[in-house]
Amino acid sequence: MSHILLITSSPRGDGSLSARFGTQIAEGVQARLGGTLTVRDLAANPVPHITPAYIHGRVTAPDARTPEQSDAVNFAQSLVEELKAADVIVLSSGMINFGLPSPLKAWFDHVTWPGVTFSYDGNGPKGLLTGKKVYLVTASGGVFAEGPYAPFDFQTNYLLHLLGFIGLTDVELVRVEGTVLGPDAEKAAVAGAEAAVQALLTKAA
């Protein structure tokens, strides 16, 4: 039985297009493949930014950790276990100041863990979370996939790098962009994303 993990992160609430299409993908995959769905809304329930307790605690023997270090490491471990349990991961992100929302960055800071989700060997870094399908939805007011603003997309390319770094390389990308360029552009962006999502769900069936 498949298990799907949906991670949303936009602070825009009901107006979030990234969360809208991410949810549509997650629920669509569940309808087609069956299984269970876990939702982690990082906007409603933000992951705290990492602290010295986490940094030092994860390299300290469990029986030598302070209570604060134990709490920090145990919390990070719970996020990692949630990620490991998923067969399908749907990650949605709405651009904030050219990058990803800070709660999503904090989530990655917890789960990008040496020796746990990645390691190094003679060939360099090796991601340890393999064999999972990922759907990535990124939204932006401007157009960043191509054109003059493409060099300033510090959201999509960074997310693809982070996912790949921990072994999540089987990624399908849906972009929702150009939504602040006028009503027609917004309508076209939404229609394009709808079509892309439907095409992906057809493949998932």
Domain residue limits at 192: 3-204
pLDDT, residue 14, reads 81
**What residue numbers does the annotated binding site for FMN cover?**
10, 16-18
Q: Which residues pair with 6 in a beta bridge?
A: 39, 90
**Cα–Cα dist 157/154, whole Å:** 6
| Structural domain count of the chain | 1
- Say if residue 8's pLDDT is above 70: yes
Residues 140-176 have pLDDT tens digits of 999 999 999 999 999 999 999 999 999 999 999 999 9
Sorting pLDDT into bands at 50, 70 and 90, what band is 205?
Answer: low
CATH code at position 174: 3.40.50.360
pLDDT tens digits for 22-69?
Answer: 999 999 999 998 999 999 999 999 999 999 999 999 999 999 999 999
CA contacts within 13 A on the Cβ side of 24: 19
Residue 123 pLDDT grade (very low, low, confident, very high; cuts 50, 70, 90): confident
Residue-wise pLDDT for 181-204, tens only, equals 999 999 999 999 999 999 999 887
Is residue 8 within 8 Å of 22, Cβ to Cβ? yes
Q: Which three-class secondary structure state does DSSP give residue 2?
A: coil
Which amino acid, 117? T
Confidence at residue 13, expressed as pLDDT on a 0 to 100 scale: 82
Q: Which residue has the higher pLDDT, 93 or 122?
A: 93
In this prediction, residues 102-115 reach a mean pLDDT of 96
153: left (phi over 0), alpha (psi -120 to 50) or beta: beta
What's the mean per-residue pLDDT of the chain? 94
Partnered with residue 66 across adjacent β-strands are none
Q: Binding site residues, as ranges?
A: 10, 16-18
110 and 83 Cβ atoms separated by less than 8 Å? no
> Which residues, 6+ apart, have CB-to-CB distance to 105 below 8 Å?
99
